């Protein structure tokens, strides 16, 4: 391997992978590929090599060779040059052809150096002294409220032939118009809601109460002045509503029988209450731990003065957007739909998130610096053991290989475990 490097806020690396190495890897990967080639008239694995090779996308295979070899070379370069980078490198393959050396250009942000003031441990000790006597006390009323929540989640829905009442679950079709024109996203079919929950705009559920199955009603309501869609906030609209289904919600009585229905481990209601209280105690303890860790990071970050390269902030912003998109996908919404719903542009949201992005980067740098100063290293066996917990969620080898980058998983797991060890030591100060 040959490379040239130019350092700045970002490191530019020109890597040359000799064909003498790439060619060997290409042949190895070709051998593996042709074993899976299927050609009519031949058994799988028994296809003549020249015919099998003709079925392989050689350009794609060569690209995979370059990607695989670059991973190893990149790690070697970082180690040799003692580079601490942040984020994944931007990769551009500038030369890729069989029989020729592969040429690749890399750009990656350098982790800025930070200096922790000498008093940082004293500040952590202050936080610990303030929080050490905090006791977790789950009251009987809180347990009862949680049990009611569980019971409500297991309510039975029985369709009834009567007017809708407060507490019923109903399905409605509706059309929302302004000045006789249907507003954007202003129609819905079989929309389910529980009357009395107050999840719709004020007045809507009250208008539905008293309606019967098949009944249609038209009424006017005003959107709240603080409504998320600015073009609707404070404006009146006409609602055409048809009630399709009325279901009576029957919530189970909270007693010994209810407890037993939740699992064999609950012999009676007292067992269930004990379990609920233990779960709430652990949850509150976890929340308290997270709050203390946030105090650590906030306090330490305020002690650091640093100018961060824009590329690092941009990378963190992209990471934040990606995380948010995953959260949205769980509710069946994408990022563009969310922006439309709140009446904002992507740039508006990124501007609002900019301080948080900087805080996240500085926090990561602080944790990295403390880990270095405290010489915290995680044993590879422990990392692999933790990785196996993640891998256990995948059904088979093919599923795992398709969805997981093992090197990235290793580094991610290592980082999480190292940060947790840092927090453990901070808690002991």
Average pLDDT of span 66-90: 86
- Hey, is 189 helix, strand or coil? strand
pLDDT over 80 at 9, yes or no? no
Average pLDDT of span 167-175: 95
pLDDT at 396: 62
pLDDT at 401: 58
Contact 303, 120 (CB under 8 A): yes
Quick one: what percent of the chain has pLDDT higher than 70? 97
Of the chain, the end-to-end C-alpha distance in Å amounts to: 46
CATH code of domain 155-250: 3.10.50.40
pLDDT at 174: 96
Segment among 113-117, 242-246, 369-373 with least mean pLDDT: 113-117
pLDDT at 332: 77
What is the Cα–Cα distance from 76 to 78, expressed in whole angstroms? Answer: 6
List the one residue out of 131, 135, 86, 133 whose CA is nearest residue 107: 86
pLDDT at 154: 92
**In 246-343, which residue ranges form alpha helices assigned H by DSSP?**
256-261, 269-302, 310-329, 335-342
Q: How far, in Å, are 59, 164, 165, 199, 203 from residue 196 at the CA level?
A: 61, 11, 9, 8, 10
Segment among 364-378, 390-404, 411-425 with least mean pLDDT: 390-404
Contact 171, 268 (CB under 8 A): no
Burial of residue 323 (number of CB atoms within 10 Å: 0-12, 13-18, 19+): exposed
For 11-45, write each residue's pLDDT tens digit: 999 999 999 999 999 999 998 888 878 888 787 77
User: What does DSSP assign to residue 145?
Assistant: H
Q: From its phi and psi, is residue 423 left (phi > 0), alpha (psi between -120 and 50) or beta? A: alpha
Residues of the chain with CATH 3.30.70.1050: 2-110
Rounded (10°) CA dihedral 107, 415, 67, 38:
-150
- If one counts every other C-beta atom within 10 angstroms of the C-beta of residue 361, the result is 25
pLDDT over 70 at 376, yes or no? yes
Average pLDDT of span 424-428: 93
- What pairing do the DSSP bridges indicate for beta strands 216-222 and 102-110? unpaired
Contact 383, 417 (CB under 8 A): yes
Quick one: what percent of the chain has pLDDT higher than 90? 57
Average pLDDT of span 105-113: 86
pLDDT over 90 at 83, yes or no? no
List the one residue out of 184, 360, 362, 151 whose CA is nearest residue 258: 151
Most confident range, picked from 39-48, 194-203, 329-338: 194-203
What is the Cα–Cα distance from 60 to 57, expressed in whole angstroms? Answer: 5
Average pLDDT of span 362-382: 91
The residues with which 182 forms a beta bridge, in sequence order, are 177
pLDDT over 80 at 117, yes or no? yes
pLDDT at 18: 94
| CATH class in words for 2-110 | alpha beta
pLDDT at 310: 83
pLDDT at 400: 61
What is the Cα–Cα distance from 333 to 228, expressed in whole angstroms? Answer: 16
Residue 398 pLDDT level (bands cut at 50, 70, 90):
low
Could you tell me the sign of the dihedral formed by the alpha carbons of 145, 147, 152, 153, in that order? positive
> Count of residues for the chain?
429
Residues of the chain with CATH 3.10.50.40: 155-250
Contact 219, 209 (CB under 8 A): no
The residues with which 13 forms a beta bridge, in sequence order, are 5, 106
pLDDT at 130: 86
pLDDT over 90 at 330, yes or no? no
What is the Cα–Cα distance from 269 to 275, expressed in whole angstroms? Answer: 10
Rg of the chain's alpha carbons, rounded to an integer? 30
Residue 103 pLDDT level (bands cut at 50, 70, 90):
very high
pLDDT at 143: 95
For 218-255, write each residue's pLDDT tens digit: 999 999 988 877 778 899 999 999 999 999 999 999 99
The residues with which 239 forms a beta bridge, in sequence order, are 176, 219
Residue 354 pLDDT level (bands cut at 50, 70, 90):
very high
pLDDT at 389: 87
Average pLDDT of span 178-201: 90
Residue 408 pLDDT level (bands cut at 50, 70, 90):
confident
Q: From its phi and psi, is residue 350 left (phi > 0), alpha (psi between -120 and 50) or beta? A: alpha
Contact 239, 219 (CB under 8 A): yes
- Hey, is 52 helix, strand or coil? helix
For 285-320, write each residue's pLDDT tens digit: 999 999 999 999 999 998 888 888 887 888 889 989
pLDDT over 90 at 184, yes or no? no
């Amino acid at each position: 391997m040959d490379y040239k490097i130019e350092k700045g806020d970002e490191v530019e690396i020109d890597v040359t992978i000799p064909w003498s190495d790439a060619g060997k890897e290409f042949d190895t990967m070709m051998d593996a590929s042709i074993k899976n080639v299927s050609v009519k008239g031949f058994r799988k694995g028994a296809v003549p090599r020249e015919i099998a090779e003709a079925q392989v996308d050689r350009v794609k295979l060569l690209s995979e060779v370059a990607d695989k070899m670059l991973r190893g070379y990149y790690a070697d370069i970082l180690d040799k040059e003692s580079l601490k980078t942040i984020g994944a490198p931007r990769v551009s393959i500038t030369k890729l052809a069989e029989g020729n050396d592969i040429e690749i250009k890399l750009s990656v942000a350098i982790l800025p150096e930070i200096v922790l003031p000498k008093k940082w441990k004293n500040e952590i000790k202050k936080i610990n002294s303030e929080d050490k006597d905090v006791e977790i006390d789950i009251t009987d009323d809180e347990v009862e409220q949680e049990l009611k929540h569980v019971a409500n989640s297991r309510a039975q829905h029985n369709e009834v032939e009567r007017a809708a009442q407060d507490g019923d679950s109903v399905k409605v079709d509706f059309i929302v118009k302004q000045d006789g024109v249907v507003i954007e996203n202003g129609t819905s079919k079989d929309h389910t809601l529980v009357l009395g929950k107050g999840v719709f705009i004020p007045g809507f559920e009250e208008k539905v109460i008293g309606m019967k199955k098949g009944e249609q009603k038209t009424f006017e309501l005003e959107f709240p002045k603080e409504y998320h869609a600015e073009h609707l906030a404070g404006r009146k609209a006409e609602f055409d509503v048809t009630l399709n289904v009325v279901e009576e919600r029957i919530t189970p009585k909270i007693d010994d029988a209810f407890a037993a229905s939740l699992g064999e481990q609950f012999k009676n209601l007292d067992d269930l209450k004990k379990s609920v209280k233990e779960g709430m105690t652990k949850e509150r303890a976890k929340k308290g731990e997270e709050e203390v860790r946030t105090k650590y990071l906030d306090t330490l970050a305020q002690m650091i003065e640093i100018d961060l390269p824009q590329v690092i902030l941009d990378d963190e912003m992209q990471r934040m957007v990606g995380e948010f998109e995953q959260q949205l996908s769980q509710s069946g919404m994408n990022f563009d739909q969310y922006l439309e719903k709140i009446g904002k542009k992507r740039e508006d949201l990124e501007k609002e998130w900019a301080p948080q992005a900087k805080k996240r980067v500085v926090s990561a740098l602080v944790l990295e610096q403390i880990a270095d100063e405290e010489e915290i290293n995680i044993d590879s066996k422990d990392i692999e053991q933790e990785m196996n917990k993640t891998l256990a969620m995948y059904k088979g080898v093919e599923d795992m290989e398709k969805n997981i980058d093992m090197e990235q998983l290793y580094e991610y797991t290592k980082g999480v475990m190292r940060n947790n060890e840092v927090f453990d030591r901070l808690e002991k100060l």
